[in-house]
Amino acid sequence: MDVKYLPRIADKVLELTLKTSGAVLIAGPKWCGKTRTAEETSKSVLYMQDPDHSAEYKLMAGAKPSKLLEGETPRLLDEWQVAPVLWNAVRFAVDKRKKRGQFILTGSVIPPQVDDMHTGTGRISRMTMRTMSLFESGESTGQIHLTDLFNGESGMSGESRLSVEQIAFVLTRGGWPEAVIEKKQKYALQMVYHYLDAVANQDISNIDGVERNPDRVYSLLRSMSRNISTQAATSTLMKDLLANDESLSNKTIDDYISALKKLYVVEDMPAWSPHLRSKRAIRTTAKRHFTDPSIAAASLRADSNKLIKDFNTFGFLFESMCIRDLRIYSDSIDGKVYHYRDQLGNEIDAIIQLKDERWGAVEIKMGAGEIQKAAENLIKFCNNINTAKMQKPSFLMVLTATEFAFQMDNGVWVVPLACLRN
């Protein structure tokens, strides 16, 4: 029996991109639903990892790759990086056909560069697909639209349906489509453990043929999980890991982290550099994040019950879940998510900036007791922005795990994550 398809925010992004480009590359972590989403739109499919035909497909790719591109369009080339020559073949076919919406390429790893690989600029557009946000998994009411906040709408309100216990569960379960569909908690959590096992024991070595120690992968993931949502440098991770592995070096850790980024397991959040009234130096170190908060929870072997008993860890992982959802919603409206911190320690958890230069500032706080202080911090930060050189913020928001969404008298929005959408 076919599993019901859960609509994704990426559906409309893919539809638009196909209308404006000859081919689309959908990149993102394994198991996030790239192939399933592409199948909904494609008219024909080539599965490069089909065990019955993969050897034949690889031979054909080496001899006559254009043969693999034959089929009704848009044609899906799933896990195309198995035969990197397909990239140039697609680029050439797009040039020759002079039509839009010809191909969809999906891949769970960043492929090794081939000497004559063309950039694909102007022919192959790229879009990032992530795991499911709370709105896509049906756990956010979606009463507060990020688009409306940017447009200056007022009078909006909402009410979250999730208790703190339920938030802990959806965090540890993650946004993996199969885990979302699976209603039994113990099975859903086990799927995340299987994902980590595949990364540590197979994927991280298969990506480029370099043998990497699974135990080191697990240790690194645990260390990164303990430092999630921070600007932890390699040296910080090094100190954490040396107790159990004295042979480690900064170079080795950097290599492992690079491999995890190529697998879309790790996705750091870059720093934002605004124009300030003062002459404060801005810290440019990226914040450590995983593509899904469940990776951190599973690495720490923390289920929802453990998180409820450790609110400090819960808070850091909740921030990571908020960043995941903000990235998903921002992607769909041509925005990117950054963080801000200066040399005095002044910090803003998330800055969302659109391509038209509009921006909004977000503080992430789980409990109601932290909202007032967070709102004051947002206002203080914005008062230091040089509005002669850049726009005023479209909105200020405290993103929470509380119940109600509303706008405070000072103009700051209070929005539960389980009320937000794109």
Q: pLDDT tens across 42-88, in order?
A: 999 999 999 999 999 999 999 999 999 999 999 999 999 889 899 99
- CA–chain centroid gap for 14, Å, is 16
Q: What angle do CA 190, 191, 192 make, to 5 degrees?
A: 90
What's at 405, amino acid-wise? Answer: A
User: Where would I find the beta strands (DSSP E) of 28-123?
Assistant: 44-47, 75-78, 103-107
Per-residue pLDDT, 38: 97
User: What tokens appear for 165 in the block?
Assistant: 């216990």
d(CA 2, CA 333): 31
Percentage of the chain lying above the pLDDT 70 cut: 94
d(CA 102, CA 90): 9
Give whole-number Cα distances, 87 to 115, 116, 123, 153, in Å: 12, 10, 11, 43
Tokens 């043929």 belong to 209
Per-residue pLDDT at 276 exceeds 80: yes
Per-residue pLDDT, 1: 38
Half-sphere exposure of 346 (CA within 13 A, CB side): 18
Strand partners, 342: 282
Higher pLDDT, 282 or 91: 91
d(CA 21, CA 16): 9
Per-residue pLDDT, 382: 92
Provide the mean pLDDT of the chain. 91
Per-residue pLDDT tens for 120-153?
Answer: 666 899 999 999 999 999 999 999 999 999 999 9
Per-residue pLDDT at 115 exceeds 80: no
User: What tokens appear for 335 in the block?
Assistant: 């925005």
Average pLDDT over residues 379-401: 93
420-421 and 404-407 as β-strands: parallel, antiparallel, unpaired?
Answer: unpaired
Strand order in the sheet with 395-400: 158-159, 404-407, 413-416, 395-400, 359-364, 347-354, 335-341
Q: Which long-range contacts (CB under 8 A, 24 or more apart) does 136-141 make?
A: 136/6, 136/7, 136/8, 136/9, 136/175, 136/328, 137/6, 137/170, 137/175, 137/180, 138/6, 139/166, 139/170, 139/418, 140/325, 140/417, 140/418, 140/419, 140/420, 140/421, 141/418, 141/419
Average pLDDT over residues 240-265: 84
Tokens 């697609």 belong to 90
Per-residue pLDDT, 94: 95
Per-residue pLDDT at 412 exceeds 60: yes
Checking phi first, is residue 108 left (phi over 0); if not, alpha (psi -120 to 50) or beta?
Answer: alpha
Per-residue pLDDT, 135: 98
Rg (CA), the chain: 22
d(CA 66, CA 63): 9
Per-residue pLDDT, 208: 84
d(CA 297, CA 307): 9
Higher pLDDT, 4 or 311: 311
d(CA 277, CA 388): 9
11, containing H or E segment: helix 10-20
User: What tokens appear for 412 in the block?
Assistant: 């700051």
Cβ within 8 Å of residue 11, ≥6 positions away:
37, 40, 41
